[in-house]
Copies of this chain bind each other. A is one copy, B any other.
Amino acid sequence: MELLKERIRKDGVIKEGNVLKVDNFLNHQMDIELFNEIGREFKRRFADVKVDRILTIEASGIGIAAIAAQYFHVPVVFAKKSQSINLDGTMLSAPIESFTHKRRYEVIVASRFLNPGENVLILDDFLANGCAALGLCEIIEKAHANVAGIGIVIEKGFQCGGKMLREKGLRVESLAIVDGMDAETQTIRFRD
């Protein structure tokens, strides 16, 4: 998605340790017009797939998923990262490890929001080591539902997540795949 790559080149800031900061349009401040283009592109890429529900994970997936849902006309569920007293009923959970926050946590979805047999599209802002996406897949599997696909805004192609998920036979559509970046020169190399 050229518009997105241009925006990453323009506003992305590369930090040491392979950190790509895109917080002025994606995951702290949100450019809702860009989100609409992203939502439209996800719909175009998954046009041949039956989608009954979108699943994402708090916090930065929520805005993307909410806007994208307008093109799919399905409800969105966002997985929570810690048990809350407002959550009850039967919960589905999976352990995941955060690269950004360097900690492990449980990701939780109320089982009544994922029905057996339905097709669930996973959407998220980043794909790096794939732990978050894998945790969401595990939850969908526990609900006896199907993973319709995984839509990612920015994939770090030099980390293992995308390869690992695709080798499992999952359909991963990443709108921009970063194959390399250099903090010193602030240059980014995208996969074509």
- The residues of A with any CB-CB pair to B shorter than 8 Å are 15, 19, 21, 23-24, 27-32, 35-36, 58-59, 62-63, 65-67, 69-70, 75-78, 80, 82, 84-88, 100-102, 109-110, 112-113
Contacts and interface: CB of A to CB of B under 8 A. Distances in A.
* Chain copies in complex: 2
Given A59-B58, A62-B63, A78-B59, A32 B70 contact: yes
Contacts of A101: 82, 84-85
Given A67-B67, A113-B28, A100 B85 contact: yes
Nearest to A72: B32
A77 B29 CA distance: 4
Contacts of A88: 15, 21
A30 B82 CA distance: 18
B66 A35 contact: yes
Contacts of A87: 23, 28
**Lowest 4 A-B CB distances belong to which pairs?**
A58-B59, A63-B66, A62-B62, A32-B69
A23 B88 CA distance: 10
Contacts of A66: 30, 32, 35, 62-63, 66-67
Given A19-B86, A62-B62, A75 B113 contact: no
Nearest to A112: B24
